[in-house]
């Protein structure tokens, strides 16, 4: 390690006094002007991680659905998955180290993680469209170069595209070509092959309005347009030319506020969807003829995909194990529909994509979506091999056709991470193949009315949970109080969990009516306020 170069470059990216940041599920996120030292140091860490695993690592500069003034950075592991948990700790240590301690911390990481500094390092870099992203990605490059690493800067890409490219690179092209053209070609080819198998392709209207949150999704979707067949008519709104990133638009805005984004004119019964700022989340919605807004969130997306995959799996007659993975935030009626009507096993895990992804890997076909619209489908190696074999060798027409559809689904889905572009194409293909309108999809089940609240507390760590965050272990008496409150309402449930990023406790409640869901959420928030050290005035109804 060149101590002189480290000292010189570190001085160019000084750490503001008294600032402490933590690497969480979304990496680091903060106001952009606080991040220069962090991204420089994550350049160092990416080079170390690459040397440790002798593979290419990704680093993405983005703050996803946060306001435009914020930014963030996260690392991508060799198969396009999120950074290994043990390295999240190293990231936090390195980001918060005093300048003069930097070399010592790097040496400690090398010892703990058995990093050979003489190994080569290779890092892929991507960034979103925030005004601060270009300069920050230059700081990443400084960090990589201090440790003698090679890098490839892809410039403006969606987060899922970077995950995809890292995976392609480390599978020696087995997953695809590590270029944007490779990504567009693979997805569009699989999509067109699927649509070809649709019997109603003639009359099925494929008009889709897409709110791109004034983010990078708009640029990449425009680049991809020439790859689509004529009959796919997508219209892009909030393309970043007029308004600010994520301002009154995007998947997060639509989901939280339960209303359409600004900048998109909705006509009755038109199919619309929203990406988030870095295009790794998607939600659908429409307005009915009475002017009511209908949101189709991640739970309903998972349900649609599960129906389609279950039918195909039944046709290929293999003993594949399929399951859906949800978090406690999944609407109770979605869980009921999947388990009781579809007869698909459902597993609940802690909030956070890494927990969902990890659980989904246990099955031949694992479908996971968070209610916020982040999700994908994972196919086991064995299932994928068998499906591709059936396409080539199966004599029975129906079986072979079903296997062919599954093969195209495998190629259309970005298995590395939730991907708004890929998920949108999967949904559009399924709606076309099943001849479903957006209203028919929405009518599969009715969401139970629910309410999300948050309560500010002095220290979020006083709340400890179990059973995939559905029950509170501490403080004493809180869970008993919640149980008693839940008993007052029909079809109700409620849970509380500490935020991963700030001193607030998040509350979720659902019941048979919106009035009851609101009342339950409020009563639970009062219990949290009094038993878990609430700050300020008690919550008002």
Q: Which residues are annotated as a binding site for substrate?
A: 370-372, 497-501, 506
Q: Which residues are annotated as a binding site for Mg(2+)?
A: 64, 276, 278, 280
The alpha carbon of 140 is separated from its chain's Cα centroid by a whole number of angstroms, namely: 23
Q: Which residues are annotated as a binding site?
A: 64, 276, 278, 280, 370-372, 497-501, 506
The per-residue b/e assignment along 489-498, b for 16 or more CB within 10 angstroms, e otherwise, is beebbbbbbb
Please provide the DSSP assignment of 110-154 as one string: HHHTT--TTS--EEEEEE-S-TTHHHHHHHHHHHHHHTT-EEEEE
Among residues 50, 64, 139, 492, which one is catalytic?
Answer: 64
Alpha carbon distance 485, 294 (integer Å): 29
Q: What tokens were used for 111?
A: 């010892």
Order of strands, sheet of 233-237, starting from the edge strand that comes earlier in the sequence: 233-237, 207-211, 272-275, 282-287, 293-296
Q: What tokens were used for 335?
A: 């869980």
User: Are 78 and 166 a contacting pair, CB within 8 Å?
Assistant: yes
Alpha carbon distance 176, 142 (integer Å): 29
Angle ∠(178,183,189) on CA atoms, nearest 5: 135
Order of strands, sheet of 322-327, starting from the edge strand that comes earlier in the sequence: 346-349, 322-327, 365-369, 375-379
Secondary structure letter of residue 447 according to DSSP: P
Question: How crowded is residue 196: how many other Cβ atoms within 10 Å of its Cβ?
Answer: 11
Closest by CA to 178, choosing from 274, 58, 95, is 58
Question: How crowded is residue 20: how many other Cβ atoms within 10 Å of its Cβ?
Answer: 8
Alpha carbon distance 67, 29 (integer Å): 11
Q: Based on the residue annotation, tell me whether 64 is a catalytic residue of this protein.
A: yes
Alpha carbon distance 332, 493 (integer Å): 8
The per-residue b/e assignment along 432-459, b for 16 or more CB within 10 angstroms, e otherwise, is bbeebebeebbebbebbbbbebebbbee
Q: Which residues are catalytic?
A: 64
């Amino acid at each position: 390690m060149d101590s002189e170069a480290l000292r010189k470059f570190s001085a160019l990216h000084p750490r503001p006094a008294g600032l402490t940041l933590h690497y969480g599920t979304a990496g680091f996120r903060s106001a952009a002007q606080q991040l220069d030292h962090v991204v420089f140091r994550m350049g160092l860490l990416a080079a170390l991680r690459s040397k440790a695993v002798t593979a290419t690592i990704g680093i993405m500069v983005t703050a996803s659905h946060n306001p435009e003034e914020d930014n963030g950075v996260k690392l991508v592991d060799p198969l396009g998955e999120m950074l290994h948990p043990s390295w999240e700790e190293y990231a936090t240590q390195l980001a918060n180290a005093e300048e003069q301690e930097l070399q010592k911390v790097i040496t400690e990481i090398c010892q703990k993680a058995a990093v050979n500094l003489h190994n080569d390092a290779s890092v892929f870099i991507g960034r979103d469209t925030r005004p601060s992203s270009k300069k920050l990605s230059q700081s990443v490059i400084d960090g990589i170069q201090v440790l003698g690493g090679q890098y490839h800067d892809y410039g403006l890409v969606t987060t899922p595209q970077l995950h995809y490219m890292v995976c392609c690179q480390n599978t020696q092209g087995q997953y695809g070509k590590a270029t944007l053209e490779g990504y567009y070609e693979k997805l569009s080819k699989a999509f067109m092959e699927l649509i070809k198998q649709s019997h109603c392709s003639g009359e099925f209207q494929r008009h889709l309005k897409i709110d791109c949150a004034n983010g990078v999704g708009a640029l990449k979707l425009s680049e991809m347009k020439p790859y689509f067949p004529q009959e796919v008519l997508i219209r892009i709104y909030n393309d970043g030319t007029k308004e600010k990133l994520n301002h009154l638009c995007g998947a997060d805005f639509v989901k939280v506020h339960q209303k359409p984004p600004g900048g998109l004119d909705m006509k009755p019964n038109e199919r619309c969807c929203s990406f988030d700022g870095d295009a790794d989340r998607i939600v659908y919605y429409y307005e009915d003829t009475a002017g009511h807004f209908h949101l189709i969130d991640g739970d309903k997306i998972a349900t649609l995909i599960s129906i389609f995959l279950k039918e195909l799996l039944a046709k290929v007659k293999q003993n594949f194990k399929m399951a859906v993975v949800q978090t406690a935030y999944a609407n109770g009626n979605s869980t009921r529909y999947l388990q009781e009507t579809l007869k698909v096993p459902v597993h609940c895990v802690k909030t956070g994509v890494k927990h969902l992804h990890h659980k989904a890997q246990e099955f031949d076909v694992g479908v996971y979506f968070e209610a916020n619209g982040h999700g994908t489908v994972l196919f086991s190696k064995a299932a994928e091999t068998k499906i591709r074999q059936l396409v080539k060798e199966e004599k029975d027409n129906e079986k072979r056709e079903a296997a062919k559809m599954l093969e195209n689904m495998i190629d259309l889905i970005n298995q590395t991470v939730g991907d708004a572009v890929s998920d949108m194409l999967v949904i559009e293909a399924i709606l076309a193949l099943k001849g479903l309108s957006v209203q028919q999809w929405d009518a599969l089940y009715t969401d139970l009315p629910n309410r999300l609240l948050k309560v500010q507390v002095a220290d979020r760590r006083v709340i400890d949970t179990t059973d995939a965050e559905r029950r509170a272990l501490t403080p004493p008496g809180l869970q008993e109080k919640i149980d008693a409150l839940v008993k007052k309402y029909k079809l109700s449930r409620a849970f509380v969990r500490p935020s991963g990023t700030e001193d607030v406790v998040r509350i979720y409640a659902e019941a048979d009516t919106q009035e009851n869901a609101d009342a339950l959420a409020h009563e639970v928030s009062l219990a949290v306020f009094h038993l878990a050290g609430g700050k300020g005035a008690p919550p008002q109804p």
